[in-house]
A and B are shown apart, each in its own frame.
Chain A
Amino acid sequence: DAMVIQNPRYQVTQFGKPVTLSCSQTLNHNVMYWYQQKSSQAPKLLFHYYDKDFNNEADTPDNFQSRRPNTSFCFLDIRSPGLGDAAMYLCATSREGQGPYEQYFGPGTRLTVT
């Protein structure tokens, strides 16, 4: 089945220790998104890739970076995690040009910062 895969599902990191979260997709979608969702809050868009073009949200902290080496993979790098970065990180994809941007989400990575 075509899908969005996130690894790991659970990640524990130490305060200030860089961490990378991974997302892959078999849908061949050209747009990939990263969202942050804190407990009992709505998902908040951090950035997205339209093909290779990176689009950062204005209020996304510089601590968050992203890489998309190819169509299938996208990475979220947190350079120096703080306690406030503990959250669920959701990856999503969509296909621009074929339909109305329906977004498909992965299962998420739960990040704990100790």
Chain B
Amino acid sequence: KQEVTQIPAALSVPEGENLVLNCSFTDSAIYNLQWFRQDPGKGLTSLLLIQSSQREQTSGRLNASLDKSSGRSTLYIAASQPGDSATYLCAGSSNTGKLIFGQGTTLQVKP
């Protein structure tokens, strides 16, 4: 059974800092790994999706990596801004498309 864990649960950084959010999963037969952003009281916005055959994906200041052998994914945010403050969720999917979510990391970027 796939389990997804995110550490830390909360993170506070000053503006401009580079940071890494961690995600680990128990089943290496993961089909893909998707990172989402969730603002308070809102839905989920897809940030990056890494297919099982890929090792990383980049979008702007965001870079996500996937290491299936170690069961880990990271989301790197460069030059953080107050507008990046949100909860970041990672989710792994099986080949049926079902997503298993981590509990999320709540990020606060202080001006």
Contact = CB atoms under 8 A, between A and B. Distances in A.
B45 A42 contact: no
Interface residues of B, number: 23
Contact of A41 (B36, B42, B46, B103): B103
Given A101-B32, A102-B34, A102-B49, A42 B102 contact: yes
B37 to A, nearest CB: 11
Q: Do most interface residues of chain A lie in helix, strand or loop, or is the interface mixed?
A: strand
A90 interface: yes
B42 A108 contact: yes
Contact of B43 (A45, A102, A107): A107
Contact of B97 (A6, A44, A96, A110): A96
Contacts of B26: none
A45 B44 CA distance: 14
Interface string A21-48: 0000000000101000000011111001
Contact of A101 (B4, B31, B89): B31
Interface in A69-92: 88, 90, 92
Contact of B49 (A41, A92, A100): A100
B18 to A, nearest CB: 26
Given A90-B44, A108-B42, A110-B41, A101 B101 contact: no
B28 interface: no
A103 B46 contact: yes
Which are the 3 A-B pairs with shortest beta-carbon distances? A42-B101, A101-B97, A105-B44
